[in-house]
Chain A
Amino acid sequence: MIKGIEIKRANIAEGKLDYLFNKNIKPDPHNTPRAVENAKQMRRIGLQDTPENRALLRQHFEAVVNDSTNIIRGLGAKTIRESFFMGKKGGVKFETVWEGERLITIEPHGGLRGIYKPGGS
């Protein structure tokens, strides 16, 4: 057992993954087009909405909240973290907003070329 390393358990509501795959989103002038764009990015990297892929994303976000080097912006107890996720057909940069271990929202970034620019938006 390694002492001194605290593993945080991420609190990821299923609704956040629904938002990423544009499932069960109530009509809203902002949330609807945002969820459509999210799902487009997931399709672009070849990630279908399956239980296996949802588990992969959960695993990724668990790692994200346990990395102290990926915080790009903070506001009070809330932080924006940046990470990179590789799907079967390409990669996506995620900007995730957290309050402690609670995931608040996810924003996938990346174009058709799927180029990852650290520090870029």
Chain B
Amino acid sequence: MFINIANNYLELKYHSSEEELLLALTSCNLGKVLIESEEAEEFISIQISRRDRFDSRFGIGIYNEEKGIGLEILPIPDKELVILGVNKNILGFELKTLSPSFAFETFTRFAGFYLLDENNLLVRDEIGFIKLDLFGNKKWEFYHDLVQDFQVMDKTLWVTTMENETFKLSLETGLPF
């Protein structure tokens, strides 16, 4: 599958084995990064190139454990940025320079993205949230229990857990009020 973001192409392919994934990434002459796991159920390669320089590619190899939401790709075209979430990994990728810009691990399994505004996003993991800026700097984190539902309203994050507890957090500080 081809995804067109700003001046870039992302070519996403599913592979039947690790060997096939690694073979696909050999054509990535700008380098590669692997998001590995010993419990992979699915192997995905993403090859990223500029639209005008199709021969120069960076590769991302993903060993998807397929537990929960799976791979999510958040494109932010006006910042020429793509953010990936899978397993317990978050990877920021700068399209202008064709290189990874940040990476970190969540405490529990990644469960989704929510773009707050042009500079910040929420990363949901299984038991809470992390607020990040688009450079990957952590502003705050809130962990409590299995998240059942959440809503962003004005400057407030409402979180309901599976145990039916509700929290009202300030999006500015991550603190309950």
Residues of A within 8 A of B126 (CB): 30, 34, 105
A56 within 8 A of B: no
Bound Cα distance A31, B39 (Å): 19
Residues of A within 8 A of B112 (CB): 29-30
Q: Which residues of A are in contact with B by a Cβ distance under 8 Å?
A: 13, 15-16, 19, 26, 28-31, 33-34, 37, 73, 75-76, 78, 80, 97, 104-105, 107, 109, 111, 117, 120-121
Contacts A104-B146, A121-B38 known; A30 to B69 CB distance under 8 Å?
Answer: yes
Does the CB pair B149–A28 fall under 8 Å?
A: yes
Chain A binder among B20-28, B103-111, B167-175? B103-111
Bound Cα distance A117, B38 (Å): 11
Residues of B within 8 A of A120 (CB): 38
Say which size band chain B's interface belongs to: 20 to 34
Bound Cα distance A19, B127 (Å): 13
What distance in Å separates the Cβ of B19 from its nearest Cβ neighbour in chain A?
18
Which secondary structure dominates chain A's binding surface? mixed
Number of A-B contacts (CB under 8 A): 68
Residues of A within 8 A of B149 (CB): 26, 28
12 A-B residue pairs with Cβ-Cβ distance under 8 Å, sorted by A, are A15-B162, A26-B149, A30-B111, A30-B112, A30-B124, A31-B147, A33-B70, A37-B66, A104-B127, A107-B67, A107-B108, A109-B39
Encode B122-149 as 1/0 by CB contact (under 8 A) with A: 0010110000000000000001111111
What distance in Å separates the Cβ of B5 from its nearest Cβ neighbour in chain A?
22
Residues of A within 8 A of B144 (CB): 104
B163 within 8 A of A: yes
Q: Which 4 A-B pairs have the closest CB atoms?
A: A30-B111, A34-B68, A30-B69, A30-B68
Residues of B within 8 A of A30 (CB): 68-69, 109, 111-112, 124, 126
B37 within 8 A of A: yes
Residues of A within 8 A of B68 (CB): 30-31, 33-34, 37
Pick the most buried of A15, A73, A76, A104: most chain B CB atoms within 10 A of its CB: A104
